[in-house]
Amino acid sequence: MASPEPLRIALFGESYLPYLSGVTIATDALARGLMEAGQRVLLVMPRPAHEPPSPTPHDPAVAWLPSYQPPPPAPTGYRIPIPVASAALRAARAFRPQVVHAQSPFVSGLMAWRLARSVGAPLVFTHHTRFSDYRHYLGPLAAPGAALMSAYLRRFWLGCAAIIAPGTELAAEISGAIGSQRGRPLVRAIPTGLDLDWIAAVPEGHPRREAGWTPGADFVVASLGRLAREKSVDLLLEAFARAAIDRPELRFLLIGGGPLEEVVRRRGQRDDLRGRLLVTGQRSREEALGLLKACELFAFASRTETQGLVVAEALACGVPVVALEGPGVRDAVLDGMDGVILPREPESAAAERLSSALIALASDPERRDAMARNAREGASRFGVQRRVSDVVDLYRQTLASR
C-alpha cells in the first residue's frame, strides 16, 4: 500500500525558543518529529528579542510574527505576538496548510483560527496549561477572571476540530466541560514526546564542582522548573530542610530561575540549608539535563503540570523520581518501579511525606539503583515518534470527517 501524501501543517505558538518552557520544548519536539515523519511544517511564532540563529537544513521553517515583551509577572524573554497584518501571516497563507495547529488559545490561537477559516483547514489545539492554576497572579480579580477564562476557553474549544491534552486527567476535564453537544471536537490525550537520542547524547554536568560539594560523598537531589509559587517551591525547600536533619550528606539542586529566585537564594542562607542548596538560575535545556544526569534523585511537587514533562525528562536521564501526586504524574511515573508517587496532602504533611521518601531512597542504594535501571529501560515509552504518529493520525481523522 502506498504511503499517504505528506501533510502541510502550520503550527502557531504564543512563545518559542530560545525562551525555555514546557510549551516551547513540546512545540519544538512536535515540529521536529513531524518533519522526521515526512510531514511539511511551518512554525508561526513570535520573534524573540534578539535576532534568531540562522536555521540549518534540519530545523523547521519559521515565519516570525511581530512581538513584544509583556510586563511582569510575565518572565523575561517571553514574547507575545502582535495581531497585525505581517509577512509571517502572508507566508502562512501562501503555505496553504491542510491542518492548522494552535499551541495557545490566546493571540496566536486566534490568528490560527482565522487562518484555518480562511483556507478551509481544520483547527487543532493543544491545551498545554491549566490556566486556572495561575489565577493568583490576578489578585482580587482572581474569581471573576477564572469564570471569564472558563467561558472563553469553552468557546475556543468549540471552534476546534480536535483538542489534544498532554495528560489523561486534563483530557477528561475538557471532555466533561464541553459536554455531548453536536459538533463537539475530538478530544485526545497525547503526551509530548522526547527526543531520546538527543537526551542520551547530553554530556553529564558537574553540580558538585559548581557548588563546591564533595565528589563521591554528597548525595544530590535535584528539581527542575520555574521558581514560582505554582511550582510549590516552598514545599520542596521545607522537605529538603527536614531531610537534611536525618541525612546531613544530602545536597539539593534547584535548576531554573523565576520570580522566586532571590527568595529561594535567601532561604538557602538559613542554617538548615546553608551550604546544602545550589540554585542555578535559568540554564539552557542541554545544561539543565546535563546537571540532572549527575544527580541521584529527582523531587517534584508542582500542582500545575498537565503531563509532568520534566518528570519524563528525569526518567529519560535515568534518575528515579519522588513526586507528589498531581496532574500528569501518574502518566509518567510507574509507581514503585522507576519512582515513588506520594499522595497530595496539606503542605506541612506533604513536606514531611516527601522528606521521608527522599530519606528512604537515599538510605536504600539497591532499590534506588533498580529504579534508575527501570527508568532508563522504560524511557522508550516517551519517544517522540510514537507521540507524533498519534498526532498525525488525529490530523488525518479530522480531515476525513470534514
Confidence bin at 270 (pLDDT 50/70/90): very high
The domain tally of the chain equals 2
Q: Give the pLDDT score at 72.
A: 83
383 vs 32: CA distance, rounded Å: 13
Asked if the model's pLDDT at residue 141 lies above 70, the reply is: no
Q: Which three cell numbers stand for residue 263?
A: 527568595
Whether the CB-CB separation of 267 and 235 falls below 8 Å is answered with: no
The half-sphere exposure of 320 on its side-chain side, counting CA atoms within 13 A, is 27
Longest Cα pair distance anywhere in the chain, in angstroms? 68
Asked if the model's pLDDT at residue 285 lies above 60, the reply is: yes
Q: Could you tell me the residue range of the domain that residue 83 belongs to?
A: 8-193+383-400
238 vs 185: CA distance, rounded Å: 43
pLDDT over 70, % of the chain: 96
Q: Are strands 8-12 and 339-342 parallel, antiparallel or unpaired?
A: unpaired
Q: Give the pLDDT score at 132.
A: 56
Handedness of CA 33, 36, 37, 39 (dihedral sign): positive
281 vs 365: CA distance, rounded Å: 30
pLDDT digits 0-9 by tens, 342-367 = 998 888 799 999 999 999 999 999 99
134 and 268 in a single domain? The answer is no
- Interhelix angle 22-36/384-400, rounded to 10 degrees, is 80
301 and 373 in a single domain? The answer is yes
Asked if the model's pLDDT at residue 307 lies above 80, the reply is: no
Q: Give the pLDDT score at 136.
A: 44
Q: Is 136 exposed, middle or buried (0-12, 13-18, 19+ CB in 10 A)?
A: exposed
pLDDT digits 0-9 by tens, 113-133 = 999 999 999 999 999 987 555
Tell me: cis bond preceding 18? Omega within 30 of 0 counts. yes
171 vs 163: CA distance, rounded Å: 8
309 vs 192: CA distance, rounded Å: 7
Q: Give the pLDDT score at 1.
A: 54
170 and 248 in a single domain? The answer is no
Q: Give the pLDDT score at 137.
A: 44
Q: Is residue 1 part of a domain?
A: no
Which range among 201-210, 213-222, 334-343 shows the weakest confidence by mean pLDDT? 213-222
Asked if the model's pLDDT at residue 376 lies above 80, the reply is: yes
Q: Is residue 127 part of a domain?
A: yes
Which range among 46-55, 80-89, 269-278, 338-347 shows the weakest confidence by mean pLDDT? 46-55
Asked if the model's pLDDT at residue 397 lies above 90, the reply is: yes
In Å, how far are 7, 136, 153, 258, 317 from 174, measured between CA atoms? 27, 22, 10, 29, 31
The half-sphere exposure of 159 on its side-chain side, counting CA atoms within 13 A, is 20
Give the residue with greater pLDDT, 182 vs 294: 294
Cβ density class 3-39: b for 16+ within 10 Å, e for less: eeeebbbbbbbbbbbebbbbbbbbbbbbbbbbbebeb
Q: Give the pLDDT score at 123.
A: 99
- Residues 303-321, mean pLDDT to the nearest whole number: 91
Asked if the model's pLDDT at residue 140 lies above 70, the reply is: no
Residue type, 236: L
Q: Give the pLDDT score at 298.
A: 99
345 and 220 in a single domain? The answer is yes
127 and 220 in a single domain? The answer is no
187 and 278 in a single domain? The answer is no
151 and 227 in a single domain? The answer is no
pLDDT digits 0-9 by tens, 21-54 = 889 999 999 999 999 999 999 999 999 988 777 7
Q: Is residue 220 part of a domain?
A: yes
Asked if the model's pLDDT at residue 310 lies above 70, the reply is: yes
Q: Give the pLDDT score at 139.
A: 53
Q: Is residue 257 part of a domain?
A: yes
313 vs 309: CA distance, rounded Å: 6
- Residues 256-277, mean pLDDT to the nearest whole number: 95
Q: Is residue 153 part of a domain?
A: yes
Whether the CB-CB separation of 22 and 310 falls below 8 Å is answered with: yes
pLDDT digits 0-9 by tens, 216-244 = 778 999 999 999 888 899 999 999 999 99
Which range scores top for mean pLDDT: 148-152, 242-246, 341-345? 242-246
Asked if the model's pLDDT at residue 135 lies above 70, the reply is: no
Asked if the model's pLDDT at residue 181 lies above 70, the reply is: yes
Which range among 87-91, 229-233, 259-263, 369-373 shows the weakest confidence by mean pLDDT? 229-233
Partner residues linked to 99 by β-bridges:
9
Cβ density class 251-278: b for 16+ within 10 Å, e for less: bbbbbbbbebbeebeebbeeeebeebbb
135 and 280 in a single domain? The answer is no
pTM: 0.88
- Residues 247-269, mean pLDDT to the nearest whole number: 96
Q: Is residue 63 part of a domain?
A: yes
Q: Give the pLDDT score at 2.
A: 62
Q: Is residue 36 part of a domain?
A: yes
314 and 212 in a single domain? The answer is yes
How many residues in total does the chain contain? 402
Domain CATH code at residue 133 = 3.40.50.2000
Q: Give the pLDDT score at 138.
A: 47
State the chain's mean pLDDT as an integer: 92
Q: Is residue 395 part of a domain?
A: yes
pLDDT digits 0-9 by tens, 157-173 = 999 999 999 988 899 99
136 and 219 in a single domain? The answer is no
Q: What's the distance, CA 277 to chain centroid? A: 24
Tell me how many degrees the CA angle 272-243-290 measures, rounded to the nearest 5. Answer: 95
157 and 180 in a single domain? The answer is yes
Asked if the model's pLDDT at residue 308 lies above 80, the reply is: yes
323 and 276 in a single domain? The answer is yes
Q: Which three cell numbers stand for residue 289?
A: 539535563
118 vs 123: CA distance, rounded Å: 11
Q: Give the pLDDT score at 100.
A: 99
Asked if the model's pLDDT at residue 103 lies above 80, the reply is: yes
